[in-house]
Homo-oligomer: A and B are copies of this chain.
Amino acid sequence: MKRTNLTLGLFGFGCVGQGLYDILNQTKGIKAEVKKICVKDRSKKRPIPLKYFTFDKDVILNDPAIDVIVELIDDASEAFNIVSAAMKNGKKVVTANKKMVAEHFDELLKLKEENQVSILYEASTCASIPIIRNLEEYYDNDLVKSIAGIFNGSSNYILTNVFENNLSFDLALKKAQELGFAETDPTLDISGLDSKYKLSIINAHAFGKNVPEENIFHLGIQSLSLADINYAKEKRYKIKLVAKSIKIDGELYSWVIPQFIDLNDFLYSIENEFNGVIIEGAFSEKQCFVGKGAGGHPTGSAVLSDISALTYDYKYEYKKYSQNNVPTSADNFLIEVYIRYKNENDINQLSFLSIHEQYQSDDFNYIIGNIDIKSLSIKEIKENKNIFIAQTTNQAVHSINVSNNISGVHKFKEAV
């Protein structure tokens, strides 16, 4: 098979950019050379000679010798400007920017079609795990029932250290930042937003359905307390930040939420900056992909796999978009949650459809019950530091007698 040599223009030279540069230099088999690197900060010391750098994006965007731009900057809207300009100039694109891809998904697809250029973004979701490529190439729509996983390395690193090493949340976050796992703004990681961007991208390749990220419910781990950790440990659970999409009767349910995980779940033993993705197939049953979800080298290696695929002229085909079994997006459904709170008035805006457990003490209180996921979306609940919410295990949900109950989802209309 014919392989093309590629000339690259790189945007961004942070943790991933440098990781990629290292890898490219040590990987002789892949015929791709970085010609120029565009960075923002003129004063920062760089580990390689200054002649490789430019501060003007047009130097790369207008260079006809550059075939591929590799976009690895933080700022999602500037990233979109760069990527769309590059595609209009006929350049192929590799990007690791989940926010940019999730927020501009349809526009990027249109740019791809109009300009007939490939855009690949494996590194944007779960870093080193080849999940996009597998969903795109291997798992037919009919064969995917659900996707669930730990999609954020930084928050998983924090959870592991808080759970296993008794670190404080703040210290664990600080360590994650020092190790280069966290985004520049760590709110993205711990709030569940980062996982949601990834879930949105995964939905497109798993089910042929782009659920806009603003329509996906998300909750984070920012208000996790020692009381919650102790509760989980007592029950022999861990708490993981889980993103999931489940297809039931042609409808797609997607959300991101902290969840109690028991010993028998594949996600139980996924620790530190590792990510894990469970694909439930109609006939293959559960499959799990595990790998590092953060860090310069793991992310850089995914970028490199995309660059290598471009040397063979690979492009995503988005086959599932044109199949006739694309699900519709559901947003009204029940889940069973644990809600820990301080004062009754913290939660008086919430109405449970059924309550299964209730605990009160001088230190903290919790309720376990079924609730419409939409009612958790209000700002006063999401931003209240006194409240921590986690989905109970799937098993706990299964014990309630509601019809159409698969993997912890209840259809709202049937449960009322």
Contact = CB atoms under 8 A, between A and B. Distances in A.
A326 B287 CA distance: 31
Indicate the size class of the contact surface on chain A: 35 or more
Given A138-B305, A281-B128, A290 B288 contact: yes
Interface string A283-307: 1111111111000011011101100
Given A1-B317, A269-B269, A282 B23 contact: yes
B284 A128 contact: yes
Task: State the main secondary structure of chain A at its contact with B.
Answer: mixed
Contacts of A137: 133, 137, 309
Contacts of A298: 283-285
A351 interface: no
A230 interface: no
A300 B283 contact: yes
Interface in A112-170: 128-130, 133-134, 137-143
A122 to B, nearest CB: 8
B29 A141 contact: yes
Interface hub of A19, A139, A287, A302 (most chain B Cβ within 10 A): A287
Nearest to A127: B284
Given A140-B304, A291-B288, A304-B140, A297 B283 contact: yes
B323 A29 contact: yes
A105 interface: no
B29 A142 contact: yes
Given A1-B317, A130-B138, A285 B289 contact: no
Contacts of A3: 319
Task: Pick from A266, A290, A309 the residue with the most CB of B within 10 Å.
Answer: A290
Nearest to A307: B140
